[in-house]
Amino acid sequence: MTAGVSRLRPILIIASTTVIAMVPLAMGQAEFVSVIGASFAITVIGGLTLSTLLTLVFIPTFYIGLEDALKWFYSLNWKNKLIQLILFTLMIFLIYTYIDKFLWKLITTILTIIIIPSGTWFVMNSLRKARETVISTDENINIYIQSLVKIYERENRWSREWKAGARIRKRLGLERQYNSFKDMGQIAWQVPLLGYIIYFTYFYLDKGFWIFLFSMGTWFILSGIWTSFSKLITNLNAKRERRWLKTMSGILDIVVFWIIPLLNLIWFLHKWENLVVVLILGILWFSGLLIYKTGQKLTRENIDIYRLEGRFKGLRKTFYKIVAVVPLIGKKKKPFKALSCVSLNIGNGMFGLLGPNGAGKTTLMRIICGILEQSYGKVWINGLDTQKMREELQGLIGYLPQEFGSYENMTAHEYLHYQAMLKNIIDVKTREERVTYVLNAVHMEERRNDKIGSYSGGMKQRMGIAQILLHLPRILVVDEPTAGLDPRERIRFRNLLVELSRERVVIFSTHIIEDISSSCNHVAVLNKGKLRYFGKPIDMTKEAEGHVWQFNIPSRDFGVFVEKHLVVHHMSEGDNVRVRVISEFSPWEDAVNATPNLEDAYLWLLRRKNFPGSVNNEKSN
């Protein structure tokens, strides 16, 4: 690899200079040149380009892949090796018996070399793993969440790697700046290239298809140069406002992005004389441009598609929605950090996740269950990495999402049997016993044969719990299970979870304080993706000590006061109002400290600005 990297520059210099030197000869049209010289030059250009690509890209990539594949192949047992060798021999026999053309023999042989081992790997790494027991039944479960970060709408790995160089240059301040005309020297080399490609495309080439292809390339180079100039104009205007420069920039922008493609289409029509093809190309080209420009506008102006105002808002909304989903040229996605370096340690018992909407509770739960992949950090279950052993560990987890449904045309009996089968409960007797057990546990046995579509909200919620209990999971993760339930149903549900937590880990999220205080051994408070508290609920009240105040305030002052302070509750007492306030400092002259309860502590944790969170976490861990 080091040898390859150190040879990169000399190989590229030799190849590119030779190719450039050969171009005039390759384009020669005089009789004595076109017979031998041009074909010689074209062969050299093609051969050199291909061999450069092979040397710099294909061979190193293939070599690294082959090395890994061989290492994996040697680690297999003899049965798997034998099966693959037999398959490989069979495929080679079929290829050389039934395929005549050399090119197809070559392609199919390469495909065979790739597909047989990768297919075996694919099969070996999937079905088998779900049946493996990785944690014995007598071992206590412990979940360790280590510096977990989740960023939604994050670019994929390929894009990140592609832009890594630019990011490093930006960080080091080595990014290209266009502040004066002198800075344009950095792109001066592109001007002769543009001149050459214009000549080659519009004056040298004859065939319509190639003209089309190269005209696209020409346009991309031109728009690249224009983008640099446009940055220069913006920077010059920022220093000193010049109206003519701004107007010219606007006009040139229209010329480059709209007029030149139109001129290209007219040129194609002149060359091809095929209106239908030119029209189709035109529609595609201009649609792409429109999507690109609208996408840029949506990103630049941070437009909320769902809150549009003004004329044609329905039409605009539909178009913007299309632009938002078009990959590459559509609206640029804005990364959003949902979890920020969260570390927790969860053992047996009830564990509550408390936080307002959008705090990151659901994201955290989904990552624990392997539904989502984290961006950074790790989740360990008894020391096993959940990213590496997702399928094995999922057998231990029962997850009930916040918003879930079921197949409403099925009865509870059918749905639970289907879910049980998916969870590897294949034996009919065991399955029937398990279905009856979970239906009894959630008090749904009498509605067993009714269609799920006919159930009330609470009954559907109980069905959800029944379904996650089927395989007797050792970790239960339930996301806001009590939301939308009536008080009696909520208490019954909470008691069921407490009962289940005696022999397993139960993680449940809520924004109802009472659920935590009456059931959880440990609680974590999340706000805006950050951990605000982790420990016992009873200790949480200590966090708010000295920050809860009670006092009487005249009714006339209350309106102004309530806008500036966090009032937990208030009650009228004659001309005064008795208030309870959360505040770092005394909010009123007669204010006295009150004993905080869990709700006060929760509100204080959400409001508090300075967090000794890390110290608290370390202590708790």
Partner 1 sequence: MIVYNLRIIFANKFIWFLAGSVGFYMGLSVIYVFSNDVSKMGDLYGVFLFSGLLLVFYPSVFGVQNDQDARTIEILFGIPNYRYKVWLVRIVLIFAIAFIIMLVFTFLSSVLIVKFRFVNMTAQVMFPVLFLGIMSFMLSTIVRNGNGTAVLMIIFGLFFMILSDGLHKSQWNIFLNPYELPWDVNETTWAIIALKNRIILVTGSIIFLLAALYNLQKREKFM
| Chain contacts with partner 1 (rule: CB under 8 A) | 122, 126-127, 129-130, 152, 366, 369-373, 390-392, 394-395, 397-401, 403-410, 414, 417-419, 421-424, 467
Tell me the C-alpha distance between 345 and 316, whole Å: 48
Name the minimum Å distance from CB 151 to partner 1.
Answer: 11
Q: Are 219 and 261 spatial neighbours (Cβ–Cβ below 8 Å)? A: yes
395/537 with CB nearer partner 1: 395
DSSP 466-520: HHHHTT--SEEEEESTTTT--HHHHHHHHHHHHHHTTSSEEEEEES-HHHHHTT-
Tell me the C-alpha distance between 447 and 453, whole Å: 12
Question: Any bridge partners for residue 551, and if so which?
Answer: 579
Phi-psi region of 424 (alpha: psi -120 to 50; beta: other; left: phi over 0): left
Name the minimum Å distance from CB 290 to partner 1.
Answer: 19
Burial of 415 (0-12, 13-18, 19+ CB in 10 A): buried
181/407 with CB nearer partner 1: 407
444/523 with CB nearer partner 1: 444
Name the minimum Å distance from CB 403 to partner 1.
Answer: 6
Dihedral over alpha carbons 483, 486, 491, 494 (to 10 degrees): -20
**Chain mean position to CA 134:** 29
Name the minimum Å distance from CB 457 to partner 1.
Answer: 13
Name the minimum Å distance from CB 615 to partner 1.
Answer: 33
Please name the residue that has the structure tokens 């790790």: 378
Name the minimum Å distance from CB 401 to partner 1.
Answer: 4
Rg (CA), the chain: 34
Name the minimum Å distance from CB 564 to partner 1.
Answer: 40
Name the minimum Å distance from CB 383 to partner 1.
Answer: 20
105/231 with CB nearer partner 1: 105
Can you give the length of the chain in residues? 621
209/585 with CB nearer partner 1: 209
Q: Is 127 helix (H, G, I), strand (E, B) or coil?
A: helix
Closest CA to 202 of 188, 191, 216: 216
462/608 with CB nearer partner 1: 462
Q: Are 474 and 320 spatial neighbours (Cβ–Cβ below 8 Å)? A: no
Closest CA to 232 of 219, 248, 254, 256: 248
Tell me the C-alpha distance between 47 and 60, whole Å: 19
Name the minimum Å distance from CB 422 to partner 1.
Answer: 5
Q: Which distant-in-sequence residues (6+ apart) come within 8 Å of 206 by Cβ?
A: none
Please give the helix or strand (H or E) that residue 147 lies within, else none. Answer: strand 143-152
374/527 with CB nearer partner 1: 374
Provide the angle, in degrees to the nearest 10, between the axes of the packed helices 457-469 and 412-422: 30
Q: Is 607 helix (H, G, I), strand (E, B) or coil?
A: helix
Side-chain half-sphere CA neighbours of 195 within 13 A: 5
Tell me the C-alpha distance between 589 and 393, whole Å: 57
Closest CA to 470 of 430, 435, 441: 435
Where do runs of H (alpha helix) occur along 125-163?
157-162
Q: Which distant-in-sequence residues (6+ apart) come within 8 Å of 458 by Cβ?
A: 485, 486, 489
Name the minimum Å distance from CB 424 to partner 1.
Answer: 8
157/564 with CB nearer partner 1: 157
237/411 with CB nearer partner 1: 411
107/174 with CB nearer partner 1: 107
283/422 with CB nearer partner 1: 422
252/389 with CB nearer partner 1: 389
Neighbours of 494 (CB within 10 A): 23
Name the minimum Å distance from CB 419 to partner 1.
Answer: 8
Question: Per residue in 212-235, is it b (16+ CB within 10 Å) or e — as a string?
Answer: bebbeebbeebeebbeebbebbee
Name the minimum Å distance from CB 425 to partner 1.
Answer: 11
Name the minimum Å distance from CB 466 to partner 1.
Answer: 12
Q: Are 338 and 363 spatial neighbours (Cβ–Cβ below 8 Å)? A: yes
246/460 with CB nearer partner 1: 460
Tokens of 91: 């495929």
